[in-house]
Amino acid sequence: MPTDTERHETVDVVLVNPPSSPEQEFGLLSAAGAPRPPLNLLNLGAVLIEHGYTVKIVDGAAHRLDADAMVETIVAAAPRFVGFTSMTAFIHTSGATAAGLKTRLPNVPIIIGGIHVSTLPEETMDLFPAFDFGVVGEGDVTIVELLQALEQDRDPADVAGLMIRTPDGPRRTTPREPVEDLDVLPLPAWHLLPDYVTTYQPTASRRTRLPSAYIVTSRGCPFKCTFCNNVVHGRRFRSYSVDYIMSMVTFLVREYGIRDLTIYDENLALQRKRIDELCRRLKESQLDLTWSCDARADCIDDELAALMYEAGCRAIWFGMESGNADVLKRYRKALNLEDLEQATRLCKKHGINACGSFIIAGPTETPATIKDTIRFAKRIPLAHFVPIFYTPVPGTSDYPQIAEHGSADLNYRSATMTRVTFVPDGMTVGSVYYWYVRAMLSWYGRPRVLWQFVRHVGPLGLARTGMSFLWQGCKAILGAAVGRRKLPRAAPSTPSQIESNVESSRPRRAA
> With left for phi above 0 and alpha for psi between -120 and 50, is residue 161 left, alpha or beta?
left
One residue of 26, 223, 256, 309 binding ligand SF4 per CB under 6 A: 223
C-beta separation of 224 from 397 below 8 A? yes
Q: Does 266 bind ligand SF4 (CB under 6 A)?
A: yes
* Residue 293: strand pairing partners: 263, 316
Q: Does 503 bind ligand SF4 (CB under 6 A)?
A: no
Residue 444 interacting entry, from ligand B12, ligand SF4, none, C-beta within 5 to 8 Å by type: none
Of 492, 370, 378, which is closest to residue 432 (Cα–Cα)?
370
One residue of 22, 23, 34, 39 binding ligand B12 per CB under 6 A: 39
Q: Does 100 bind ligand B12 (CB under 6 A)?
A: no
Q: Does 228 bind ligand SF4 (CB under 6 A)?
A: yes
CB of 217 or CB of 380, closer to ligand B12: 217
Specify the stretch interacting with ligand B12 by CB under 6 A; choose among 136-144, 338-346, 362-370, 454-462: 136-144
Taking the complex as a whole, the smallest distance from the CB of residue 266 to ligand SF4 amounts, in Å, to 4
Distance between CA 348 and CA 300 in Å, rounded? 12
SS3 state of residue 262: strand
Residue 232 interacting entry, from ligand SF4, ligand B12, none, C-beta within 5 to 8 Å by type: ligand B12
Q: Which long-range contacts (CB under 8 A, 24 or more apart) does 168-176 make?
A: 169/126, 170/121, 170/122, 170/125, 170/126, 170/134, 172/121, 172/122, 172/136, 175/136, 175/137, 176/136, 176/137, 176/138, 176/141, 176/142
Q: Does 265 bind ligand SF4 (CB under 6 A)?
A: no
Specify the stretch interacting with ligand SF4 by CB under 6 A; choose among 14-22, 152-160, 167-175, 223-231: 223-231
Specify the stretch interacting with ligand B12 by CB under 6 A; choose among 31-39, 304-312, 343-351, 403-411: 31-39
Chain positions 317 to 356 lying near ligand SF4, rule: CB under 6 A, are 319
> Going by C-beta distance under 8 Å and a sequence separation of 6 or more, which residues neighbour residue 82?
13, 14, 15, 16, 74, 98, 101, 105, 108, 109, 110, 111
CB of 230 or CB of 322, closer to ligand SF4: 230
* Residue 422: strand pairing partners: 408
Q: Does 416 bind ligand B12 (CB under 6 A)?
A: yes
Specify the stretch interacting with ligand SF4 by CB under 6 A; choose among 70-78, 199-207, 221-229, 337-345: 221-229
Distance between CA 473 and CA 360 in Å, rounded? 15
Burial label for 239, CB within 10 Å (0-12, 13-18, 19+), is buried
Specify the stretch interacting with ligand SF4 by CB under 6 A; choose among 76-84, 219-227, 387-395, 473-481: 219-227
Sign of CA dihedral 380, 382, 388, 389: positive
Beta strands in 400-465 (DSSP E): 406-408, 422-424
Of 387, 439, 429, which is closest to residue 406 (Cα–Cα)?
429
Q: Does 40 bind ligand B12 (CB under 6 A)?
A: yes
Distance between CA 173 and CA 166 in Å, rounded? 11
Q: Does 266 bind ligand B12 (CB under 6 A)?
A: yes
Specify the stretch interacting with ligand B12 by CB under 6 A; choose among 66-74, 228-236, 309-317, 493-501: 228-236
Distance between CA 489 and CA 507 in Å, rounded? 10
Taking the complex as a whole, the smallest distance from the CB of residue 332 to ligand SF4 amounts, in Å, to 8
What string marks each residue from 47 to 66 as x (binds ligand B12 by CB under 6 A) or -? --------------x-----
CB of 230 or CB of 431, closer to ligand SF4: 230
Distance between CA 131 and CA 83 in Å, rounded? 9
> For the chain, how many residues are written?
511
Sign of CA dihedral 138, 144, 147, 152: negative
One residue of 87, 130, 437, 476 binding ligand B12 per CB under 6 A: 87
Output DSSP code: residue 213. E
Distance between CA 185 and CA 42 in Å, rounded? 11
Chain positions 417 to 456 lying near ligand B12, rule: CB under 6 A, are 417-418
What string marks each residue from 289 to 318 as x (binds ligand SF4 by CB under 6 A) or -? -------x----------------------
Q: Which residue is nearest to ligand B12 (CB)?
A: 113
CB of 140 or CB of 298, closer to ligand B12: 140
One residue of 393, 408, 437, 502 binding ligand B12 per CB under 6 A: 393
Taking the complex as a whole, the smallest distance from the CB of residue 227 to ligand SF4 amounts, in Å, to 7
Specify the stretch interacting with ligand B12 by CB under 6 A; choose among 68-76, 222-230, 314-322, 487-495: 222-230
Distance between CA 415 and CA 87 in Å, rounded? 9
Taking the complex as a whole, the smallest distance from the CB of residue 119 to ligand SF4 amounts, in Å, to 14
Q: Does 46 bind ligand B12 (CB under 6 A)?
A: no
Of 282, 281, 315, 283, which is closest to residue 300 (Cα–Cα)?
315
Residues that bind ligand SF4 (CB under 6 A): 221, 223, 225, 228, 230, 266, 296, 319
Residues that bind ligand B12 (CB under 6 A): 20, 25, 36, 38-40, 43-44, 61, 83-85, 87-89, 111, 113-116, 118, 135, 138-140, 143, 216, 219, 228-230, 232-233, 264, 266, 393, 415-418
